[in-house]
Amino acid sequence: MSELKGYKGKIRDFLITNKVDVGDLVKITSELTYSGILMPRYESGDESHIVLKLKSGYNIGIEFEKIEKLEKTGERQSNNENSQTIEKNEELPKILLLSTGGTIASKVDYRTGAVTPALSAAELYEAVPEIAKIANVDAEVLFSEYSENLQPEHWLEIAKKLDSIVDSDYVGVIIAHGTDTMHYSSAFLSFALSGFKKPITLVGSQRSSDRPSSDAALNLISATKFLVNTKSKGVFVVMHQNESDDAVACHLGTRVRKNHTSKRSAFQTVGSEPAFVVYEDKILENMKNSFFSENEYNPRINLDTKVALIKYHPGFNPEIIESLIKLEYRGIIFEGTGLGHVGRTMYASIKKAKENGIFLGMTSQCIDGRVSMTVYESGRDLLDMEIIPLENMIPEVALVKAMWVLGNSNSDDEIKNMMLENYSSEF
């Protein structure tokens, strides 16, 4: 018998009594009859369900108390390829795989149907053995969090870890990361580690790795191919380019946005094509120029979180700006309308914020295009109030950049100059 991984108590005793092992073909009679392969449970799951992989490829959880009968219909399938230790080929290049959590490192909780962090970085490597033919992977778990729970202090931890291996023999780094805030993390790493000596890829998955429609494996394989074959430095978000499985896009970390809640092709480069596309064994290059690649490595791993991103809308209460002043915020990034506008009801509070030494930057709510505040009178009024137009910088990127700039400077002139300097192709 195997260890019946993840099964405990009465369920484990029931499986042993019926001489059933993980990997066996079984038929379970409950409210309905199900046939499939008995799967292991993961430890964070509940103890009241048995998991089967159906012929369709989907896994289901069957409530133990409702099971009327269990029959073994086939012997456990030999799985030596997955169970054996994957030996490293010393002739292959080395990459580092850092796990931070997210759907790419998750499985489904069959009691609730929710996606739960469960896999370690090492388990990701074992789950995608194709990677072993491309590179030797060292895996490490930094933390295991959904990306909505990641905070700026997590960005600092990732950046410090990467800085510690900048002179190592790794050819590149994969960061397994949740998709919801991936573009915030990629932006910070782009600024904090400007000129990093090897490519960094943030890789996520829109669908967990135990679903047949998962994009996790192809994204990981493509990121590995990219790291091994590219000569470009920089921070990239590596995700499906479309809904098929033939191409994976490598987006610049400061020019990417998640534009769909659930599609595998949710991430898109704003204003251009992805910097690179991995198509089978080819790396297609679209990037004309990357300031990141030209820079000397100059790590500045600091930030100040007292920056707000304000999305202007009709009816916006300017007292919110007053509150930010009282809270001693040091920067406000406005996500204005059109070419970079906010209503005149905001003017008095904006002037007060400027008098209190708060940096004020303007971006646009429009997905594409460039801020231009000289076209209309309202834009010129805001320029007179010393709001700085941030051209075509993505609002979330401008927020992260302002945090980084304010963490590395106290001079008003230097803050302005740094916000307008193109460090990592953010413009």
**pLDDT for residue 83:** 40
Residue with tokens 């979180």: 305
CATH of 85-294, one of 3.10.290.10, 2.60.40.3080, 3.40.50.1170, 3.10.20.30: 3.40.50.1170
Structural tokens at position 358: 């708060």
Question: Is residue 2 very low, low, confident or very high in pLDDT (cuts 50, 70, 90)?
Answer: low
**pLDDT for residue 112:** 42
Question: Is residue 199 very low, low, confident or very high in pLDDT (cuts 50, 70, 90)?
Answer: very high
Question: Is residue 203 very low, low, confident or very high in pLDDT (cuts 50, 70, 90)?
Answer: very high
Listed in sequence order, the residues at least 6 apart from 5 whose beta carbon sits closer than 8 Å to its beta carbon are: 22, 40, 41
Q: CA nearest 168: which of 127, 136, 121, 202?
A: 136
**pLDDT at residue 58 greater than cutoff 70:** no
According to the 3-state scheme, what is the secondary structure of 234-273? CEEEEEECCCCCCCEEEEECCCEEECCCCCCCCEEECCCC
Q: What Cα–Cα distance (Å) separates residue 265 from each residue in 48, 58, 80, 110, 207?
A: 36, 21, 34, 26, 11
**pLDDT at residue 361 greater than cutoff 80:** yes
Q: CA nearest 363: which of 402, 331, 335, 321?
A: 335
Most trustworthy range by pLDDT among 110-124, 137-151, 160-174: 160-174
What stretch of H or E contains 335? strand 331-336
Could you tell me the pTM of the whole model? Answer: 0.79
Question: Is residue 78 very low, low, confident or very high in pLDDT (cuts 50, 70, 90)?
Answer: very low
Residue spans per domain, the chain: 9-74, 85-294, 307-420
**pLDDT at residue 54 greater than cutoff 60:** yes
**pLDDT for residue 113:** 45
**pLDDT at residue 4 greater than cutoff 90:** no
Q: Which residues are catalytic?
A: 103, 179-180, 258
Question: What does the pLDDT average to over 32-57?
Answer: 77
CATH class of 307-420: alpha beta
Order of strands across the sheet with 359-364?
307-311, 331-336, 359-364, 388-389
* Domains 9-74 and 307-420 in one fold: no
Burial class (CB within 10 angstroms; exposed 0-12, middle 13-18, buried 19+) of 406: buried
- Please give the angle made by the CA atoms of 399, 401 and 404, to the nearest 5 degrees: 115
CATH of 9-74, one of 3.40.50.1400, 2.30.30.520, 1.10.3720.10, 3.90.1170.50: 2.30.30.520
Most trustworthy range by pLDDT among 57-61, 138-142, 375-379: 375-379
**pLDDT for residue 157:** 97
**Residue 286 and residue 272 in contact, taking contact as beta carbons nearer than 8 Å:** yes
